Amino acid sequence: MALTIGVPAETFPGERRVVMTPRAMDALAKSSVEFLIEPRAGVAAGFPDSEYQQKGARIAANRAEVFASSEVVLQVRTPGANPEAGRADLSLLRSRQVLIGFGEPLTAGPAYAELATRGVTSFAMELIPRITRAQSMDALSSMATIAGYKAVIMAADALPRMFPMLMTAAGTLTPARAFVLGAGVAGLQAIATARRLGAVVQAYDVRAAVREQIESLGAKFVAVELDSAQAEDKGGYAKELGEDFYRKQRELLTEVVRQQDVVITTAAVPGKKAPILITRDMVAGMAPGSVIVDIAAERGGNCELTQPGRTIVENGVSIMGPLNIPASIPFHASQMYSRNVATFLRHIIKDGAVNIDQQDEITRETLVTHGGEVVNARVRDLLGHAKQSS
């Protein structure tokens, strides 16, 4: 008998992605699974019900049927990442059901505690380890690629000048100057996109090791002579550093920022508030018409003036704090995310059933709740700290 995988529609406000596209289902064709799709679940991303049916999926009568008839439920945002509307799904989930999706496990521990109480086995896609054999499952990197690209497009649209140098009969137009803070996946994609649009690009990251990657994309690396040896954790993510480090960094970056037309900030530490890299004084030194796009707005922002979800103008400088950028490009964001999820499903499904092998690093690191308990060590520790401080 085939394992039933349910795909409900997303209920988070403004969320247009779908967790599984019709084409991504092909990757599971040999895995003894069948898909049950909530009506119109993929429409906002550009995937009508008819395309799912052509791939052999069944369209459910309603959302309740998806949850009631599925052994595995896939979501872009599980209740942890959808704290208000997602609460309605908790009553639909049952013991031993498997839930997979983004869930903000490092900040939404109580939601996972409730999933554990209900006996749900849950996996958080944010926790996919950054190891070679898990690269094709790395959903955070996929979404960061989308965010880095779109941030530059937003900046180009808001900037009162063009990005490339143009030689015209009316004279030569000088190229825009762009500065990217943070050279993770989002930052590197922002660099590449700004370069393709013709800007002169500089970039900075606390990890000196990324200098070669920055320069390979045609950008100039801004060298800050500080001890950055401890700036990267074993998973390849930037670590949170001390306030003294950030204070010295801001002093050194002030002059660089002053010269820019566009600043894209991407520095985020999983589960932590984003570090302040662009101060109010730095913004005051920028020319009117300049643009800051703060990709880290969901974590509070890298700019001191960022207001998450809003665009404000301070001394003529536009400061954009976009939220959920991948949802603004839902077709390709869904395509990339669903491939990550499909690959993860192939990893854990054996002989038509979900196999929970906690000796496997990928399974162990992404598994948050199982057997009525929060089993992920990081999430469990955070919940313990929260209880102690309350």
Residues identified as active-site:
130, 135, 138, 141, 237
Residue 243: in which H helix or E strand, if any?
A: helix 243-258
CA distance 45 to 24: 14
Taken as a whole, the chain contains a residue count of 390
Residue 80: in which H helix or E strand, if any?
A: none
Query: Please, are residues 367 and 375 in contact by the beta-carbon 8 Å criterion?
Result: yes
Angle at 197 between CA 194 and CA 199, to 5 degrees: 60
Angle at 19 between CA 18 and CA 20, to 5 degrees: 95
CA distance 201 to 215: 10
Closest CA relative to residue 117, chosen from 374, 385, 390: 374
DSSP secondary structure string for all residues of 18-32: -S--TGGGGGGTTTT
- The three state secondary structure string of 335-384 is HHHHHHHHHHHHHHEECCEECCCCCCHHHHHHEEEECCEECCHHHHHHHH
Could you tell me the two tokens for 257?
């920022």
